[in-house]
Homo-oligomer: A and B are copies of this chain.
Amino acid sequence: MNFTLRQLQYFQAVAEQRNFGRAAQVCNVSQPALSVQIKALEETLGGILFERQARDILLTPLGRDVLEHARQVLGAADRLDQFARDHSGGHRSLSIGIIPTIAPYLLPGVLAGLRAGDVSLRVRIREARTERLLSFLRGGEIDAAVLALPAGGSEFQEIPLFKDQFLLAGSATRLKRLSTSPDVLRPLDLQSAQLMLLEDGHCLTDQALEVCGQDRSSGQINMGASSLATLSRLVAEGFGLTLMPELAARSETEAVPGLRLLRFGAPQPARTVGLVRRASTVGEDWMDRLAQVIRDVGEGIVTATRT
């Protein structure tokens, strides 16, 4: 590949102007410079491209075919040029990972917020559990991840966004049978309770076990549900209890008749939702804008559950 974009531009200009002098003007160079480049291109491509007459320049058959190809190259280069010009203001196509216990509840608001306030960020979403997301982030397949902190790993940097408290979820009957009143319900009161949890690998499962002081080998634990939506329906039917993050509370209670929620007494168990990025990611100003949108939307949702 021994031709240059400049040579192709000159070639196209001569083909259009049918005159070396005028083509040189259009290209803002001197006629001899253009003449030399056209000749070099003819040597590179192995044939005469123009039939030179005293007052006219005609394309040879070879020249005609080359012009067609040159147009493809220059067209594509123009589109790259135009893209760079359009995107000098920070327009980006992002790839963001998000865990399943956050995605369904947070994304509608976040995408709407991005669309309403600023169209320069286009987001492609990748939904997976934490370990997988961190692997994608490490390998560059995603640019940042929304998950429950801590992520672990010195190569990452965490941006805490908002607190997402856990509520106890179950059927009205099941919740009535608890001995403690709502004001003083404590997670450790559930040590012998029957818990329905997400399958292993979801952080929410580990968090629930820790908060309730239970162990994965306990006979009271059922870990097999694949989503919070499934969990909601099971506990609403009386199949045990589960921990429900505030983020999901309104959405699930509206979708599942019979699902009831109780707040724990202070200090309330919670997870911190954060944005995780590679420590080596610098100079990407979209990161702060995205973090702010997610924080606003997330805090809006959890605040609404507290009123």
A46 within 8 A of B: yes
Which residues in window 123-182 of A have CB below 8 A to B? Answer: 139-140, 143
Would you call B93 and A59 a contact (CB within 8 A)?
no
A95 within 8 A of B: yes
Task: Tell me the bound Cα distance from A4 to B4 in angstroms.
Answer: 7
Contact flag A56-B140 (CB < 8 Å), given A62-B92, A72-B79, A87-B47:
yes
Contact partners of A282 in chain B: CB under 8 A = 51
Contact partners of A281 in chain B: CB under 8 A = 51
Would you call A66 and B88 a contact (CB within 8 A)?
no
> Which of B44, B48, B65 touches A83 (beta carbons < 8 Å)?
B65
Residues 55-87 of A, flagged 1 when their CB comes within 8 A of B and 0 if not, give 010111110111001101101111111011001
Task: Please give the distance in Å from A55's CB to the nearest CB on chain B.
Answer: 11
Which residues in window 193-243 of A have CB below 8 A to B? Answer: none
Would you call A140 and B84 a contact (CB within 8 A)?
no
Task: Please give the distance in Å from A113's CB to the nearest CB on chain B.
Answer: 19
Would you call B46 and A140 a contact (CB within 8 A)?
no
A94 within 8 A of B: yes
Task: Tell me the bound Cα distance from A45 to B76 in angstroms.
Answer: 15
Would you call A78 and B1 a contact (CB within 8 A)?
yes
Closest 9 A/B residue pairs (Cβ): A58-B140, A69-B80, A72-B76, A46-B88, A73-B76, A61-B92, A45-B84, A53-B280, A76-B76
Binding site for B on A (CB under 8 A): 1, 3-5, 9, 44-48, 51-53, 56, 58-62, 64-66, 69-70, 72-73, 75-81, 83-84, 87-88, 92-95, 139-140, 143, 278, 280-284, 286
